[in-house]
Amino acid sequence: MYKAVSPLDGRYASRMTKHGEYFSEYALMYYRCKMELLYIMALDEAKLFEPLSSEEMEKIQDCIDNFTDKDYQRIKAIEDVTKHDVKACEMFLRERTGLRDVNMIHFALTSEDANNLAYTFMLKEYRSQVQMPQLKQLLEKLMELAEKWKTIPFPCRTHGQKASPSTAGKEIAVFINRIARVYKDLKEHRFYGKLGGAVGNYSAMLAAFPDFDWLTFCHNFMKKYDIEPNIATTQIEDHDSWAGYFDLSRRLNNIVMDLDVDCWLYISYELFSEKSNANEVGSSTMPHKVNPINFENSEGNLMLSNGMLTVLSDKLCRSRMQRDLSDSTVQRNMGVALGHAYLAIGETLRGLDKLQLNEANCIAELNDSPELLAEPIQTILKIVGVDDPYTLLKKASRGQKPTKESLVELVNGLDIDQKIKDRCNAMESVNYIGDAVRICDLVLENTNAILK
């Protein structure tokens, strides 16, 4: 492992143990065999062949439930001879199941029938068992911070410049809102599959059993496992639904990357900080440093993931006429693309666990920024008929730093009702947060509903 080429299998191997169950070569062989065995059981239910004995059914179920390293090694040994991995699975299943009628195995199928459903089983189970639980964990952590910080005033910036304040919780809620939408879309995403033979027309199946409704049989088979039948295909399933899934995963990556960068920037402005660990080192020469390394690691891994997800989305939707094998090696990298995203979100969670809000710094910066009151004052002056209050406040604040006293003097010099003057003069930057608290509460309420 210390000579692993990929850091996912080397440096980060201890964090990636779950991924081997879904995206390794071992996993691919298992899911191919599982698909073939489920198909045999469906054929048995259709009563097209002699019924399977109870012993045969037990052997089939045992192969699904107890696929071993020895089984995998046997498949690879057969593949060394056949130079065809799907055929090797078929030949292995002949040995492993001991069926009386081995012709039921891979009956009238093409390799792509086994492959597209095997990969789809992999993606569906990875999504439900690994990806969605981690995403839920991220949302719950962000919701914890948003609830904790929802009333605390927070300096905002647009174009890197000071802008109207918010609350720290509401700014976190922005990311919760975005991630929750992708969570919902990922959860509801439908995968498509095909099981129609060499060119997708059920031709070999109908040649053998011309009076049997193979189209309905195959569609029902896929629906049983919550896969949407792709009605019209070439030899291969078009993989558009895979692309949709990869695009959703990439959109999620972009949102998390945005979160990483904002946390990094707020740390650099000393509005956030990270809890220090006495045993950790932030710099080989500067002992004082506590680097936001988790957010940086996350950002880098998300960029790697996005690059690969883009290739997967672009490539796997294209095939020369009925079939070519340029997609085969690309498919084998699904786990690498999703693995970098999983690693990245884990790093973001580590960073969030150490994140602290420097409330005193936030309030001090807002109190030192009376120019932020230019927006609300000029807006109030508009409703009492002051001529062009925007320009009036622009002259008093743009490119210079007004004081609270100078703004009070400006307002008091206007010919307006004293109540309006008092209202403007009573405003403080630290209290100018609009409806931020209620927005935060709404996001938390909506996200809780999505997570249920």
Residue numbers annotated as active site: 159, 283
Contact (CB, 8 A) for 74 and 97: no
Contact (CB, 8 A) for 338 and 298: no
Could you give the CA distance from residue 209 to residue 355 in angstroms, rounded to a whole number?
65
Amino acid code (one letter) for 403: T
Contact (CB, 8 A) for 37 and 96: no
Could you give the CA distance from residue 403 to residue 396 in angstroms, rounded to a whole number?
10
Could you give the CA distance from residue 69 to residue 74 in angstroms, rounded to a whole number?
9
Count other C-beta atoms under 10 Å from residue 383's C-beta. Answer: 9
Alpha helices in 276-325 (DSSP H): 293-315
DSSP-based three-state secondary structure for 154: strand
Give the torsion sign (CA, 165, 169, 173, 175): positive
Give the torsion sign (CA, 392, 396, 400, 405): negative
Tokens of 231: 């009605």
Token pair 């690309």: residue: 330
Tokens of 329: 């090696």
Number of residues that this document lists for the chain: 452
Could you give the CA distance from residue 205 to residue 213 in angstroms, rounded to a whole number?
9
